[in-house]
Amino acid sequence: MNEQSADANYQGVWGNRIGFGKKAALLMIDFMQGYTTEGAPLFAPGVVTAVAQSVELLATARQHGIAVVHTNIRYHPGHFVDGGIWVKKAPVMKDMVEGNPLAAFCAEVLPLAEEVVITKQYASAFFGSSLAPMLHAQGIDTVVLAGCSTSGCIRATAVDAVQHGFRTIVVRECVGDRHPAPHEANLFDIDSKYGDVVSKQEAMRKFREQ
């Protein structure tokens, strides 16, 4: 008996398209230099590509008046208690302290002075932050995700986004991970159950129509 492919197994059960709503925001998730600096513990080749691909996406969002929110991660450098159990599970995250060059934003996608930066301690941009009420207050019903990593903060943010009532869009070319297997597996899961995975060209077209 031949085992079904994942696509065949999910067909007709998962994978409904949700699409864009009336007003979108672009969330630039954790594009920090630790993920793009070769030799750094967090280095992820897929993120290097994602940053390069996101330059045009970010420029298009800004050009068409789409709200842009950036996130980063910061911990207390002395004891890391604000990282709780996650930092114990993933001590590699201890690089994310103020003053460490690895915790700085990637130069290609730096936030503008008027763009909000949400500082978080856990994977989801929504967990323990003001992101959801801030977006709801602006009438935003759709969040478009770029950033890293696909299997970590992108997935966690996508799951929380739909649970907070947002249409969730992930831009395929603009997210990355350290290995293609978890990257592709998590894109499959997100596209099946939590949001739509779309091409950069489609996302930019939608920005122009907003």
DSSP label at residue 105:
B
CA distance 52 to 47: 9
Element at 174 (helix H, strand E): strand 167-176
Per-residue pLDDT, 6: 76
Per-residue pLDDT, 8: 73
Q: Could you read off the pLDDT of 79-116 as tens digits, one per residue?
A: 999 999 999 999 999 999 999 999 999 999 999 999 99
pTM over 0.85: yes
Instruction: Give the Cα-Cα-Cα angle 88, 90, 92 (nearest 5 degrees).
Output: 115
CB 188, CB 163: distance < 8 Å: no
Nearest residue to 68 (alpha-carbon basis) of 42, 103, 31: 31
DSSP label at residue 123:
S
Nearest residue to 121 (alpha-carbon basis) of 83, 76, 86: 83
Per-residue pLDDT, 14: 63
Per-residue pLDDT, 115: 98
CA distance 87 to 96: 10
CB 158, CB 189: distance < 8 Å: no
Q: Has 153 been annotated as catalytic?
A: yes
Low pLDDT (below 50) residues in the chain: none
